[in-house]
Amino acid sequence: MTYPERFSNLPAYAWPRLRALLDAHDPGGEPVNMTIGEPQHAFPSFVPEVLAASVQEFSKYPTNEGSPQLLAAICGWLTGRYSVDVTPDRVMALNGTREGLYNAAMALAPETKNGQKPVVLLPNPFYQVYAIAALSVNAEPVMVPATAETGHLPDYASLSSDILDRTTICYICSPANPQGAVADAAYWAQLIALAEKHDFKIFADECYSEIYRDTPPMGALEAVADTGCDPERVVVFHSLSKRSNLPGLRSGFVASGPRNIKEIRQLRAYAGAPLPMPLQRVSERVWSDESHVIENRRLYQEKFDAADAIFAGVNSYSSPEAGFFLWLPVEDSEAAALKLWKDKGVRVLPGAYLSRPDPSGDPGSGYIRVALVAPKEETQRGLERIRDCLYT
């Protein structure tokens, strides 16, 4: 019996690796889990009511692309958030954005580019589904370091023309997971110009867009409107997991030009798993409400401020622009994570579990990722232990 080789060289996923690293050791204090980015703030209070009112729709097959009401709510949110005019034929509901980030590549990536093996660009470190999508479409994944020297965003313009001319898709995450960096107007303009010159699509993962300090991060659709480029050039992904504290709802959307969305919908019709109708009804209501988002952002801002105060005397500390992670520099990410667990009972994720080595090194190995999702008091307690263990 034979098996495909395309996934055979993957390292163990982050969470099994973390368990193998830590679980053989007793915690050095009452455990504080700061690993996974699973929001713990309250989700909107109206969610149970909407779900109960629509529960009978579990007896129906869900609408493939999203209900008309859900697509209208998403378009309304995009218009209000980014001042762009988006019509329902440019949007599709997703059963979680990980599905979309993967299946959009399956639907849109050509088999060859200029007669050669195609390339998919991704930042390094990165959300791991980007690499799996690249391998699944038989492309060469090219990982571009997103380091302090590049503002924690990948410098795709530094790549050779040979690579760029073979590129079919470029992934970009803004606000970035794990670093919290935000692509500004100049970055977007440069990336769009690069994509137009070398004819590739930009896949913009914007799942952390609503958790920020002061200024709302610019979005790819906003940049498309500003530059006047073809909307088919950019494919944008959003989620209710972080914005609305509903990771278990598995609800998000993809937006692009109508031709891209037609292709993505076509694949979904044959091979996808549409969002169940009661969850679509909940999503309709949640995308239409901003009050809970404002409160959620306020809670994160309090924890940003607490982190800034706790690490005020640490010269290497960099406060994130957005998202809900700290990307803290250490000498060795696995050694630091193990020390924190054994000495203080704090569980964090080694940055090396989110990156891949390249000839110049491993851009994640000198960092730990710390999630600020727990209540403020627990978060403060964990951050103080990290400071005392690693930085004093």
Which range among 210-214, 269-273, 368-372 shows the weakest confidence by mean pLDDT? 269-273
Q: Which residue, 288, 323, 345, sits at the end of a domain?
A: 288
Rounded mean pLDDT of 281-290? 98
Tell the residue number behind the tokens 């849109």, with chain if given.
108
pLDDT tens track for 166-197: 999 999 999 999 999 999 999 999 999 999 99
Closest CA to 269 of 59, 62, 57: 62
Assign 112 a pLDDT band (cuts: 50, 70, 90): very high
Q: Is the pLDDT of residue 272 over 90?
A: no
Q: Is the pLDDT of residue 370 over 90?
A: yes
Distance CA 101, CA 225 (A): 22
Q: Within a domain: residue 66?
A: yes
Rounded mean pLDDT of 236-242? 97
Do 261 and 321 lie in a common domain? no
Do 359 and 248 lie in a common domain? no
Give the burial string for 324-340 (b: 16+ CB within 10 Å, else e).
bbbbbbbeebbebbebb
Do 259 and 373 lie in a common domain? no
For 364, the domain range is 14-42+292-390
pLDDT for position 164: 98
Q: Within a domain: residue 6?
A: no
Do 130 and 258 lie in a common domain? yes
Do 161 and 176 lie in a common domain? yes
Q: Is the pLDDT of residue 315 over 90?
A: no
Q: Which residue, 241, 256, 288, sits at the end of a domain?
A: 288
Rounded mean pLDDT of 3-23? 88
Q: Within a domain: residue 5?
A: no
Do 218 and 340 lie in a common domain? no
Q: What is the domain-level CATH number for residue 225?
A: 3.40.640.10
Query: What is the count of structural domains for the chain?
Result: 2
Looking at per-residue pLDDT, the higher value among 112 and 10 belongs to: 112
Q: Is the pLDDT of residue 359 over 90?
A: no
Do 346 and 278 lie in a common domain? no
Q: Considering the chain, what percentage of its residues have pLDDT values greater than 90?
A: 93
Q: Count Cα neighbours of 5 within 13 Å in the Cβ-side half-sphere.
A: 0
Do 320 and 266 lie in a common domain? no
Q: Which residue, 253, 288, 323, sits at the end of a domain?
A: 288
Assign 6 a pLDDT band (cuts: 50, 70, 90): confident
Rounded mean pLDDT of 111-124? 96
What pTM was estimated for this model as a whole? 0.96
pLDDT tens track for 53-102: 999 999 999 999 999 999 999 999 999 999 999 999 999 999 999 999 99
Do 90 and 227 lie in a common domain? yes
Q: What is the domain-level CATH number for residue 361?
A: 3.90.1150.10
Q: Within a domain: residue 73?
A: yes
pLDDT tens track for 381-390: 999 999 999 9
Do 21 and 57 lie in a common domain? no
Q: Within a domain: residue 7?
A: no
pLDDT for position 348: 98
Give me the long-range contacts of 336-342 (CB less than 8 A, separation at least 24). 336/368, 336/390, 337/18, 337/21, 337/22, 337/368, 338/21, 338/22, 338/25, 339/389, 339/390, 340/368, 340/385, 340/386, 340/389, 340/390, 341/22, 341/25, 341/27, 341/28, 342/25, 342/26, 342/27, 342/28
Name the average pLDDT for the chain: 95
Do 229 and 346 lie in a common domain? no
Distance CA 275, CA 252 (A): 9
